[in-house]
Amino acid sequence: MIELKQLTKTYGSKQKATTALSGVNLTVGKGEIFGVIGHSGAGKSTLIRCINLLERPTTGEVWVGGTELTSLRKRELQRQRSKIGMIFQHFNLLSSATVYNNIAFPLTLIGTPKAEIAKKVNELLALVGLEEHRNKYPAQLSGGQKQRVGIARALASDPDVLLCDEATSALDPQTTDSILKLLLDINRKFNLTILLITHEMNVIQTICDRVAVIHQGNIVEQGPVSQVFLKPKHQVTREFINHDSFAEAGLKLANSVQHPQWARLVRITFLGAKTYESVLSQVVRQTNVNFAILHGTISTIKEVPYGQLTVSFEGDASDVDRTLALLRERDLDVEVIG
């Protein structure tokens, strides 16, 4: 659905040139929720604006729905842009227009008959839960309600793709959760492809299928959220998910306790249904190995549960090795860390 090929964006010229994007390659599948995460200044806003050519790339190709956008003439580009909805961090609503008219605005611009506009806007008001606010103005709405108007407006032209530019960063945590749930419901109801950028790992963890990490204009890591979240490779990724903090907490606890010389310190990762199964106790009963749980966490990645434990195993070295092998046979990720 979306494919970026060797995308580069440079501002300025010659000695004063600043590179915002450097050879970015990215593919987003139909119906996928894809997240791009990065610190401020990493290039993520430039990236999302290049997809609908609000920013024209310096070099590279932007493919959306099988069409290469950078090669299009103005009129054809405008037609293709109608298939790409966008919501913004600060909502970008018309302050002098009602909720109804803000949502209707894209349809009004292209001369849609009033009856069709009314039907569409009423459907969207119901979808985003704003039927009772149709005649209010943006100043009368909360931040979450304003973003719901922005989402409804972006959906007015029945787009194939929805771009989200830090759509929740101006909202409180509870409102953020409600907006993410709405986006997930829209994705599932319409099979809408969603690409979002954020600096919040919670957003990625809650709704995204895959994620790319951008740093200094380069994609430094990408893959399924579970893979990137649970086994990060790049230091920037590790910072976002506090991976090192988790590891350090387990090691700190381990080092604060006296253990036999043959003790083995291990991090075990559970994913899916196994998170709630007694796998660890079942295995150690077979191997007669003692264990102590030093640190642990449990959460979800897009409604899929996961858990991580830092465990100290004590016993004969061969029995500990057998324990780790049996855990791996149960499709658990087992990493010896000390």
pLDDT tens track, the chain, 338 positions: 899 999 999 998 777 888 999 999 999 999 999 999 999 899 999 999 999 999 999 999 999 999 999 999 988 998 898 899 999 988 999 999 999 999 999 999 989 999 999 999 999 999 999 999 999 999 999 999 999 999 999 999 999 999 999 999 889 999 999 999 999 999 999 999 999 999 988 899 999 999 999 999 999 999 999 889 888 889 898 888 775 455 555 555 555 555 555 578 898 988 888 888 889 989 999 988 999 888 888 888 888 888 889 898 988 888 999 999 999 998 888 988 87
Inter-residue contact 120 to 107 (CB < 8 Å): yes
pTM of the predicted model as reported, rounded to 2 decimal places: 0.86
152 and 42 together in one domain: yes
Of 240, 267, 302, which residue is a domain's last? 240
Q: Give residue 253's pLDDT.
A: 54
Q: Give residue 193's pLDDT.
A: 97
Of 217, 240, 263, which residue is a domain's last? 240
177 and 252 together in one domain: no
Domain extent for 332: 242-336
Residue 25 vs residues 217, 229, 265: alpha-carbon distances, Å: 11, 21, 39
206 and 127 together in one domain: yes
Q: Give residue 16's pLDDT.
A: 82
248 and 226 together in one domain: no
Distance, CA of 20 to CA of 213 (rounded, Å): 15
Cβ of 13: how many Cβ atoms within 10 Å?
Answer: 7
252 and 229 together in one domain: no
Of 240, 260, 291, which residue is a domain's last? 240
Inter-residue contact 70 to 77 (CB < 8 Å): no
For CA atoms 92, 96, 98, 100, the dihedral sign is negative
Q: Give residue 240's pLDDT.
A: 85
216 and 300 together in one domain: no
125 and 234 together in one domain: yes
296 and 328 together in one domain: yes
Q: Give residue 152's pLDDT.
A: 96
The tally of domains found in the chain comes to: 2
44 and 175 together in one domain: yes
Distance, CA of 186 to CA of 107 (rounded, Å): 20
CATH of the domain at 217: 3.40.50.300
Distance, CA of 301 to CA of 234 (rounded, Å): 19
Distance, CA of 208 to CA of 198 (rounded, Å): 11
104 and 25 together in one domain: yes
Q: Give residue 297's pLDDT.
A: 85
91 and 190 together in one domain: yes
CATH of the domain at 287: 3.30.70.260
For CA atoms 93, 97, 100, 105, the dihedral sign is negative
80 and 191 together in one domain: yes
